[in-house]
Amino acid sequence: MPHHNPSMSSHPYASQPTSHFGVPDEPRPVVMILSGPSGAGKDSALDALERLGVPFHRVVTATTRPPRPGEVDGVDYHFVSMKRFAEMIDKDELIEYAMVYGDYKGVPKSEIIEPLARGEDVIMRVDVQGAETMAKKLPGAVTVFLTVPSEEELIQRLQERKADSDEQIAIRIAHARKELEELPKFQYAVVNRRDMLEETARVLWAILTATRARTDYQRVEIQDC
């Protein structure tokens, strides 16, 4: 009698071969909208994420203000003329724009579209008021509120930056209290503890990974609304 070699293909429930088993295996780039009060450490957290070797594209905003000492065009901001900014508005090249302290700022659509087309994750830093608007324009994006353990620590961080007067710090703290009221509108809240930047970065990495694995994953496309 010939030897019978059973195989999966002989099983009645596995008669149809498939190219893969389980979830789709195509690239699933994620857009993260990272927000939180001034002084919470958004830039520092993203710097720490880069040091971990996590690949992502950090969105660079366009602005009409001149560069400050040490700022690099294309890294800190895209520094453009008023004429070029007006052209970007006319050609619908911006997701959103606004005047901030007498200068225009806006997020170029290319900062989202091009890295997503390459399969890269995209992380954008926005203020708390702008996060809700951005989430509507980028359905499928994950929203993260970055904060600190206490008001006392936030005050200390702002003082250590030595960029604001005592009066300006008081205004920022009052503003932060109002911003915290918006926290329930975000999908995730991350506490950025002092001297634990790497832990904060690892939580952000975990959120990117978890979003990619969602069964209701949605590829982000810019919506005009």
Burial letters 83-102, b for 16+ CB under 10 A, else e = eebeebeeeebbbebeeeee
pLDDT at 3: 53
Positions of CATH 3.40.50.300 in the chain: 27-56+121-215
- CA dist 179 and 153 (Å) reads 16
pLDDT at 112: 96
Q: How confident is the model at residue 13 (pLDDT cuts 50, 70, 90)?
A: very low
Classify domain 60-119 by CATH architecture. 2-Layer Sandwich (3.30)
Most confident of 15-19, 142-146, 154-158, 213-217: 142-146
Amino acid at 171: I
The structure tokens listed for 172 are 């920022």
pLDDT at 24: 62
Q: What is the mean pLDDT of residues 173-189?
A: 92
Note the pLDDT tens digit of each residue in 215-225. Answer: 899 999 998 76
Instruction: With a cut of 80, say whether residue 163 has pLDDT above it.
Output: no
Catalytic residue list: 68, 161, 172
Question: How does the average pLDDT of the chain come out, rounded?
Answer: 87
Positions of CATH 3.30.63.10 in the chain: 60-119
Question: How many C-beta atoms lie closer than 10 Å to residue 2's C-beta?
Answer: 4
Residue 116, SS3? helix
Give CATH for domain 27-56+121-215. 3.40.50.300
Question: How many C-beta atoms lie closer than 10 Å to residue 136's C-beta?
Answer: 11
pLDDT at 100: 76
* Strands of 103-108's sheet in order across: 78-79, 62-63, 103-108, 94-100
Instruction: With a cut of 50, say whether residue 53 has pLDDT above it.
Output: yes
Question: Of all residues in the chain, what percent carry a pLDDT higher than 70?
Answer: 87
Nearby residues of 36 by Cβ (< 8 Å), 6 or more positions away? 42, 128, 145, 146, 147, 179
- CA dist 34 and 141 (Å) reads 10
Q: Compute and round to an integer the Cα radius of gyration of the chain.
A: 22
Q: What is the mean pLDDT of residues 64-70?
A: 90
pTM tops 0.85: no
Interstrand relation of 57-58 and 62-63 (parallel, antiparallel or unpaired): unpaired
